[in-house]
Amino acid sequence: MLLRRIIFFFSVILLNFSFAQKRKKLDTVYVYEKVTIYDTIYLEKPLKLKSNNYIFSPSKIIAKEIKDIYKENIEKKEIEELVRKKINNRFQYGIEAGFGFKNTNWGGELFRKKQQFGEHIGAWISKSLSFTPNLSLQFSADVYRWSSTFDLDGTKEDTFLNGFYFTEDNQPLLFQRFNNKHFEYALQLKLLYEWKNIRPFTGVLANHSAYKMQFLVPEDNVLDKLDDFKNKEINIGFSLGVQYIFLKRFIVSIEYQQYKMKNISLKNSNFDFDIFKTNNNFAERKINFGISYIISK
C-alpha cells in the first residue's frame, strides 16, 4: 500500500515537470498596429455672398482671374506705350557736321566750270507729332563754308570784268577782284517719317550766300579805297533726303537742296551801282553728306 502511494507521488511529480517543460516553449507572436491615414479633400461649391446675394461659380472665378491677368497685361502695355510716347514727345537736339558739293548758274561759265566743295556745321532740334509718333518736325541752323573754283584778280591779270564802272551819280569804280569763296547761312524745317532706323524727309529752307566783289572807290575825289560790294538776298528753297540712325545716338544723312535766287545783286550802301542786270533769276543746287550726334537723352 505504501509502495503504491510512493509510485503515485512520483508519477504526479513527473507529470508536473513534463508540463512545465512544455510551457517554457517559445511561440511566435504577431502584433498588428492600426494605422489611420488622413487626407484633405476640397469640395467645390457655389460661393454665396449674403450682402448682394451674388453667386459665383468656380468657372466664373477662373474666368475673372484670367480677365484680371489680361487686364494687367493690357495696362502694362499701355504704360509702356505711354512711356514711349512721353519719350518721343520730348524735344531731341543735337549737332551736325558734314561736307557737300554745290552747283550754281548765276556766275555764267565761271560757276559752271566745276562744283564747289564745302564743309558745314550746325545744330538742330526735333519733336515728334502728338497724333502720330512716326512723324516728327526738325528745325536746324547751319553754316557752310564754300571753297573757290576761280579767282579773278584785276590787279594781276586781264579779266573780262576789268575796267571802270560808273554809279548812277557818275562816280568811278575800278574792278579789283572777285571769287566765289563764301559763307552760307541756312535755316531749315524738315518733316521726317521714321521707319525702324530709316528716316526719309522733305523740307523747306531759307539761306543767305555771302558773295562779294571788290572795287576801288573814290575817297575825297581820289580813287584809292578798296571796298566790298555784297549781296543781301534771302533765298527760298526745298530739300529731300534720308537719314539713318545707328548706335542710338548717331545719324548719317544724304540730302539734296535747291534754291531759287531772285534778283541777285552785289551792292554797297555808299554807291548806287549794281553790276548785274535787274529781274534776273538763278538757281543753286547742292548735295550734302552729314553726320549728327544726338545730345539729348
Clarify whether residues 281 and 164 are in a common domain.
Answer: yes
Statement: residue 109 has pLDDT above 60:
no
- Whether residue 211 lies inside any domain: the answer is yes
Q: Of the residues 37, 64, 89, which one is the last residue of a structural domain?
A: 89
The pLDDT tens digits for 33-63 are 666 666 666 566 665 555 555 554 555 555 5
Clarify whether residues 68 and 190 are in a common domain.
Answer: no
Clarify whether residues 285 and 206 are in a common domain.
Answer: yes
- Please tell me the pTM assigned to this model: 0.68
Domain count, the chain: 2
Query: What radius of gyration do the chain's Cα atoms show?
Result: 51
Statement: residue 294 has pLDDT above 90:
yes
- Whether residue 267 lies inside any domain: the answer is yes
CB 230, CB 210: distance < 8 Å: yes
Statement: residue 24 has pLDDT above 50:
no
Clarify whether residues 101 and 85 are in a common domain.
Answer: no
Give the residue from 76, 107, 74 showing the smallest Cα distance to 213: 107
Clarify whether residues 112 and 230 are in a common domain.
Answer: yes
The span from the CA of 37 to the CA of 39, in Å, is 7
- Whether residue 16 lies inside any domain: the answer is no
Clarify whether residues 78 and 97 are in a common domain.
Answer: no
The pLDDT tens digits for 195-241 are 989 999 999 999 999 989 999 999 888 888 999 999 888 999 999 99
Q: Which residues contact 72 (CB under 8 A, 6 or more apart)?
A: none
Clarify whether residues 172 and 66 are in a common domain.
Answer: no
Clarify whether residues 77 and 117 are in a common domain.
Answer: no
The span from the CA of 227 to the CA of 270, in Å, is 10
CB 287, CB 256: distance < 8 Å: yes
Pairing of strands 182-193, 92-104: unpaired
- Whether residue 11 lies inside any domain: the answer is no
Q: What is the per-residue burial (b if ≥16 Cβ within 10 Å, else e) of 221-243?
A: eeeeeebebebeeebebebebeb
* CATH code, domain with 269: 2.40.160.20
Q: Which residues pair with 235 in a beta bridge?
A: 207
Q: Which domain holds residue 82?
A: 56-89
pLDDT at 105: 74
CB 171, CB 215: distance < 8 Å: no
Q: Of the residues 41, 72, 89, which one is the last residue of a structural domain?
A: 89
Amino acid letter, residue 19: F
